Amino acid sequence: MSQPKHLQETVGGASPARTADTPMRRRTKRLPAALATTALLSIACSTVADEPTEADLARWQQQYMDMVQAGRGLWTSDQLGTNRLACAQCHPNAANTHPETYPKFQKQLGRVVPMWEMVNWCLRNPLEGEAMNPADPRIIALVAYIRHERRGVPLAPGKH
C-alpha cells in the first residue's frame, strides 16, 4: 500500500532515533483511520440532524400541551374508578406524586417500577377501579400532567 510521504517517513523510517520513538509512530499510523471515522461521522450526523422548523416546534409543543390539558381534565374526573374519587382529592395539583423519583422501589408493588405503575395502583386501590394499559392515552395524559406540574424539579431517581 502506498503511504503519503510524511507517513512513510514516520512509520517506515528506520533511523535509530525514530525507532525509539514508538508511541509517536503508533499515533501517526492511526491518524488516517481516525480522520476517516470523523469524516464518516460528520456525514452521518448531517443527514440525521434534520433541524425542525419553527412550525414543527410549535406543532409539537401544541400536541404536548393538548396531552397535559387532557390529563388536567382527567385529574378532577370522578369517573376513572368506581367510587367517585378523583386524583385531585388526594393529590391537588399533582401534589405528592414525586415524578422525579421514578423509577424507584415501591413497597406496595415490591419492586422497582416506573411511575405509571403507581398511577395504576391508585386506580385499583383508592379509586377501586381497573388498571389501564400503559399505552392507554388516558394514562399518558395523566403522566404528562403530573410531570408538567412538577417540571423543573431536579431528577432524583430511586429517592424516597
At residue 132's C-alpha, the angle toward residues 106 and 66, to 5°, is 105
| Residues β-bridged to residue 106 | 111
User: For residue 83, what are the contacts with CB-CB under 8 A and spacing of at least 6?
Assistant: 127, 128
Nearer to ligand HEC, 28 or 69 (CB): 69
Minimum CB separation from ligand HEC for residue 148, in Å?
13
Whole-angstrom distance, CA of residue 36 vs CA of residue 42: 10
Number of residues that bind ligand HEC (CB under 6 A): 18
How is residue 53 written as a grid cell?
422548523
Taking the least distance from each CB to ligand HEC, the nearer of 55 and 155 is 155
Site for ligand HEC in 132-151 (CB under 6 A): 142
Q: How far is the CB of 68 from ligand HEC (least distance, A)?
A: 14
Phi and psi (nearest 5°) for 111?
Answer: -160, 175
- By the rule CB under 6 A, 80 interacts with ligand HEC: yes
Which residues lie near ligand HEC (CB under 6 A)?
80, 85, 87, 89-91, 96-98, 101, 115, 118-119, 122-123, 126-127, 142
